[in-house]
Amino acid sequence: MWNTIVTDFQVIFERDPAARSWLEVFLCYPGWHALVFYRIAHRIQQIKIPFLPRLISNLARMLTGVEIHPSAQIGRGVFIDHGMGVVIGETAIVGDYATIYQGVTLGGTGKETGKRHPTLGREIVVGAGAKILGNISIGDRVNIGAGSIVLRDVPDDCTVVGIPARIVRHRGQSIKDIEQSTNREHLPDPEAEAIKALFERIKSLEDEIAKIRHGVKVYEPLIPSIYLSDRSNPDSHIHLQDLARSKSIDSSNYLIQEFLDGAGI
C-alpha cells in the first residue's frame, strides 16, 4: 500500500504543471488526500472490519469533496485533479495511471445489483463533469470529453464526447476518416444512423405527398416502389428501388429507439 501511495504522489508532478514542490502537493492536493484515505479504508475493508471503512470514507468526503467507496478497486498511479465532486461507486474498477478531473461520477443506473459500476482501463483520461454509468467497460488509453455521459462500452484507444457519448476518434484518426477507408475497421455511429433514418422517412413521406398532389395513383403492393421527385420536373419520378415499406419503417424505428435509449457509442 505504501508503494502505491508513493506512486500516486509522484505521478502528480508528471501530469500537473502547477505542481511545484513536494510540500505544496503533500498539503494542498485534495485528490491525493482522498486516495490516501481510500487506500487505508480499502485495506481495512479487505480484512473485513465493519463500519470503520465507511466512516473513513465519509470523513474523506467531508475533508476533500471526493467520495470513494472503500470497496472500489483503484489501481496505482491514479491522479484525481482538483477532485471536488468526484464520486466512485462500490463496484467501480479504475485501472493504473488513470486521470480523473473534478465532478466525475463512476456510478450505477439504479437498475442493477452486483457489479453495477463501470470498469475503466489503464491510462485513461476522464474530463471534468463526465458521467460513466452502469456496468460497462472503458478500454485502455480512452479519452472521455468533459461533460460527456457514457452509457455503452468503449474499445481501446478511443475518444468519446457528447450526451449520450459517442466515439469521435479511434487510434488518433477521426471516425469519418475511418469510415472512408476500406483498410480500417468500421465503427458504427448510431446517432448518425438514427438521424439518417429520420431523413429517409421524411423523404419517403414527401414522395408520397408529391405523387398524390400530381395525380399519381399510389398502390400498396407487398413490395411497393419508392420514388424520388425530380424537382426540375415535378411530373416526373425516378424509380430507385423496391423495398418492403414495413421493413424500412421497422428498421428506422429500431435505430431511432436505440438512439433515444442512449446508444451514443
Contact (Cβ atoms closer than 8 angstroms) between residue 258 and residue 194:
yes
Q: What's the confidence (pLDDT) of residue 217?
A: 53
Going by pLDDT thresholds of 50, 70 and 90, the confidence category of residue 249 is low
Q: Stretch 210-226: mean pLDDT, rounded?
A: 59
Q: What's the confidence (pLDDT) of residue 204?
A: 87
With cell 469519418, the residue in question is: 176
Grid cell, residue 240, equals: 430507385
- pLDDT score of 235 more than 70: no
In the chain, where the domains are located:
2-180, 190-260
Distance CA 71, CA 88 (A): 10
* Percent above pLDDT 90 for the chain: 54
Going by pLDDT thresholds of 50, 70 and 90, the confidence category of residue 183 is very low
Question: How many C-beta neighbours within 10 Å does residue 53 have?
Answer: 22
- pLDDT score of 245 more than 80: no
Going by pLDDT thresholds of 50, 70 and 90, the confidence category of residue 94 is very high
- pLDDT score of 216 more than 90: no
pTM: 0.68
Going by pLDDT thresholds of 50, 70 and 90, the confidence category of residue 229 is very low
Distance CA 90, CA 79 (A): 19
- DSSP single-letter state for residue 145: -
- DSSP single-letter state for residue 115: S
Q: What's the confidence (pLDDT) of residue 191?
A: 65
Q: Does domain 2-180 have CATH number 3.40.47.10?
A: no
